[in-house]
Chain A
């Protein structure tokens, strides 16, 4: 595979469930990102990792927990989510922090 991949593409979960979103990039990039995008809304930057270290956390609720085990993989662990967390979750990567970002196809999450 090439580019940035995300799994699952669609996810429905209850408020008491625990699930994880996975992102993998095959571009040899050093930085990875999680964004949230609610319907017809702007991109909201959630987390940024550079060389596997978290460099930015934009006041995201603790029910979202990121993990970056290596430079190619990024996870977003979800637990006790709320219905307002339903959104498209996008992963992106870039060569370095300020470089062009390449996005994965996203995970469309519905919290019931």
Chain B
């Protein structure tokens, strides 16, 4: 079977740092993606990790540990516009991505 676990909700203060974790159990694994979705909008691709380690793109970073079946999305210098849902997704190989249920991030002043 395929399962991804991520927290359902996270609240953080503007200007702070927040980490959204994702653990996975899948029959195959080639990489972990992160998507952002604002209310009423479509998911947009943020990052992809195929290898262990940290990938940085501006204020957002994504980390993967294949041995621990674990990854996280790190958001720094939080802004109000970062309030959104964040989905992790596994590439199991030769089949469609498997999405987690999403983490709703609320950034407060």
Residues in chain A within 8 A of chain B (CB atoms):
31, 33, 40, 42-43, 45, 48, 56, 88, 90, 92, 94, 97-106, 108
Distance in Å: Cβ of B90 to nearest Cβ of chain A: 10
CB neighbours (8 Å) of B100 from chain A are: 42
Across the A-B interface, give the 10 residue pairs with the lowest CB-CB distance, nearest first: A42-B101, A103-B42, A98-B91, A103-B43, A43-B99, A105-B42, A48-B96, A106-B42, A100-B45, A97-B96
A45–B96 contact, CB under 8 A?
A: yes
CB neighbours (8 Å) of A92 from chain B are: 43
Interface residues of B in 79-93 (CB under 8 A from A): 87, 89, 91-93
6 contacts between A and B (CB under 8 A): A90-B42, A97-B96, A98-B95, A103-B44, A104-B42, A108-B40
The one of A40, A97, A103, A104 in contact with B95, judged by C-beta atoms closer than 8 angstroms, is: A97
CB neighbours (8 Å) of A100 from chain B are: 33, 45, 48, 97
A88-B40, A97-B96, A100-B33 given; 14 more Cβ-contact pairs under 8 Å: A40-B104, A42-B99, A56-B96, A90-B43, A92-B43, A98-B30, A98-B92, A98-B94, A98-B95, A98-B96, A100-B97, A102-B45, A104-B42, A108-B40
CB neighbours (8 Å) of A104 from chain B are: 42
Question: At the interface, yes or no: B71 with Cβ under 8 Å from chain A?
Answer: no
Chain B contact residues, majority secondary structure: loop
Number of A-B residue pairs, CB cutoff 8 Å, is 54
CB neighbours (8 Å) of A94 from chain B are: 96-97
Question: At the interface, yes or no: B41 with Cβ under 8 Å from chain A?
Answer: yes
Residue of B with least CB distance to A108:
B40
CB neighbours (8 Å) of A31 from chain B are: 96
Chain B 13-30 near chain A by CB (<8 Å), digits 1 or 0: 000000000000000001
CB neighbours (8 Å) of A102 from chain B are: 45
Candidate in B41, B42, B44, B48 with the most chain A CB atoms within 10 angstroms = B42
Distance in Å: Cβ of A111 to nearest Cβ of chain B: 18
Interface residues of B in 30-82 (CB under 8 A from A): 30, 33, 40-45, 48
